[in-house]
Structure 1
Amino acid sequence: MPTSLTVPAPLQGAALTHPYPLVFATVSGAHLYGFPSPDSDWDLRGVHVLPAREVLGLHERRETIGDERIVDGLERDLVTHDLRKFITLMLKPNGYVLEQLHSPLVIATTPEHAELISLGRRCVTRFHAHHYLGFSAGQWKLLNRDDPLRIKPLLYTFRTLLTGLHLMRTGEIEANLAVLNEDARLPYLDELMARKRSGREKEPLDGDLTRYEAEFRRLTGELDEARVSTSLPAKVAPDVEAALSDLMVRLRLRA
């Protein structure tokens, strides 16, 4: 069963130190995916809004801002994109930004965050399968280069495959592997997650990858088939792009 997670109070103040207004900030990474280790850092992701004066003038545009620090003993990494960059990524088959947008672990929010979530659901296309196929294949290659083998990249491999499958079948973003495994019912994932949660961020994997390779191939094949058979559209509707543009202009002029 999925484990519940409460965002520590010290992280709630991350938005207060940001130099620009935030549309939202949420938790990503292992905490969102359902298998944080006690020593895992907190990956915070979000969207800021550059004011029109900075965008129109000769100022350097701070499209991406990173801030790593330790707060009350918690290591956190806050990365935000300017709204225009984030929307541009939303309009591409980029599942990563949609996961950040839909994360239930919220640090900061606004009414416009809810607007983005609503529009984000309509940005999902069949081509998002390529994002998850590519990501999982990349993780599998990295995993095979590890010495010693580690549990984390193996969990990332299966998490991305199951997220992609769920998305193709339902049109909904779900990044928590524990939730996804309620339907997939793969006992080895529960075992791996339990070891990761009670161990270290770099917890080693016992044995080799033989027992997991067949599953990786099987799920990759299922995701490729789901890409073909899904009822998701091939592209984002023009009215969604128009609504996102209007939202960006409105927030830009207000900042």
Structure 2
Amino acid sequence: MNSVHPAASDSRDALGALGALGLDTLDLGSVVADQPDPLIFATVSGAHLYGFPSRDSDVDLRGVHLLPVAELIGLDAPDETRGRIWDRDGVETDLVTHDLRKFAGLMLRPNGYVLEQLLSPLVVHTTDTHTELTALAPGVLTRNHAHHYRGFANTQWRLHEKTGELKPLLYTFRALLTGVHLMRSGRVLASLPELLGEVTAPSYLPELIAAKAEAEHRTGTGLVPESAAADIAALHEVLDSAQRDTGLPEHPSVRDALGDLVVRARLER
């Protein structure tokens, strides 16, 4: 596999996006260099991608690595998922990567999380294979991705009810709005501030985003309207309706193309 940088314009866009969040000052490039196997891509996910990082937010890096053939055909189980957490430049950073074959398999499931990682505009490292995966992403989108966002929203809402923190509440709204937007447009959009311009949402969300920016685990005491539970329930109904009316297919259409890409990338290594 030939590792290359993105086109100049794409590279400037990615650096600009990282810079807008203050992430260009972190030595994230050395993270890539430290990996035992080539990385196909590494992007920033989590609260930075969702548009509501706090001053003390950690940096969530997600990506794909490429194992050599020998590790896949030997007696030992391959190291298909790797995770590492460390403090870099005074900021807690974690990196989780999957081998290309495993990641391609996750893409074929109704898993919005991996698609958000793949399509994140906060690009730390990219290659030709990343570009090809991105081009295939529309072919894995289905109406069943609504289930992913519905389930994620339910989990985060229960966490908010337990802790009272703003972070899981914003995650709840973000998941539902991303799901609605995906069902209506066929596009994955993970940034909550951007979603507010695309999907009708409660008017108090910008205030909650601003409040959460002050501290990662800030509670919503005195900030969360009593109508929040009803607003969440209403968005669930909007998502249900959007799923019923969506033009997205029932199943992915690019399984063979993904399989070909995995084989080609592995052999070219």
Indicate the TM-score class for this superposition, using the shorter chain for normalisation. over 0.9
- Helix, strand or coil at the partner of 1:25: strand
CA distance in 1, matches of 2:174, 2:100: 27
CA distance in 2, matches of 1:138, 1:74: 27
Query: Pairwise CA RMSD of aligned residues?
Result: 1.6
CA distance in 1, matches of 2:56, 2:218: 11
Q: 2:23 matched to 1:7?
A: yes
Q: CA deviation at 1:132?
A: 0.4
Residue of structure 1 aligned with 2:65, choices 26, 48, 51: 48
- The corresponding residue for 2:169 is 154
- The corresponding residue for 2:124 is 107
- The corresponding residue for 2:258 is 244
- The corresponding residue for 2:87 is 70
Gaps of 5+ in 1: none
Matches within 5 A, 1:168-207: 168-183=183-198, 184=200, 186-197=202-213, 199-207=214-222
Q: CA deviation at 1:210?
A: 2.7
Q: Deviations 1:66-85 (Å, cap 9, x if unpaired)?
A: 11111111210000001111
**Aligned residues of 1:7 and 1:105 also touching (Cα < 8 A):** no
Q: Deviations 1:89-133 (Å, cap 9, x if unpaired)?
A: 100000000000000000110011011011011100000000001
- The corresponding residue for 1:30 is 47
- The corresponding residue for 1:227 is 243
TM-score, length of structure 2 as denominator length: 0.89
Q: CA deviation at 1:182?
A: 1.5
Q: 2:75 matched to 1:58?
A: yes
Identical-residue share of aligned pairs (%): 51
Structure 1 range deviating more: 185-194 or 223-232:
185-194
**Aligned residues of 1:45 and 1:79 also touching (Cα < 8 A):** yes
Q: Report the residue type matching 1:25 in the other structure.
A: A
CA distance in 2, matches of 1:202, 1:125: 34
CA distance in 2, matches of 1:83, 1:188: 41
CA distance in 2, matches of 1:248, 1:37: 37
Q: CA deviation at 1:58?
A: 1.5
CA distance in 1, matches of 2:184, 2:30: 37
CA distance in 2, matches of 1:34, 1:189: 12
TM-score, length of structure 1 as denominator length: 0.94
- Helix, strand or coil at the partner of 1:201: coil
Q: CA deviation at 1:185?
A: 5.2
Q: CA deviation at 1:5?
A: 2.6
CA distance in 2, matches of 1:72, 1:6: 12
**Aligned residues of 1:64 and 1:81 also touching (Cα < 8 A):** yes
Q: CA deviation at 1:10?
A: 0.9
Gaps of 5+ in 2: 1-16
Q: Report the residue type matching 1:253 in the other structure.
A: L
Q: 2:134 matched to 1:82?
A: no
Q: CA deviation at 1:234?
A: 0.7
CA distance in 2, matches of 1:94, 1:60: 24
CA distance in 2, matches of 1:7, 1:71: 12
Q: CA deviation at 1:20?
A: 0.8
**Aligned residues of 2:202 and 2:231 also touching (Cα < 8 A):** no
- Helix, strand or coil at the partner of 2:97: strand
Structure 1 range deviating more: 206-215 or 53-62:
206-215
**Aligned residues of 1:64 and 1:80 also touching (Cα < 8 A):** yes
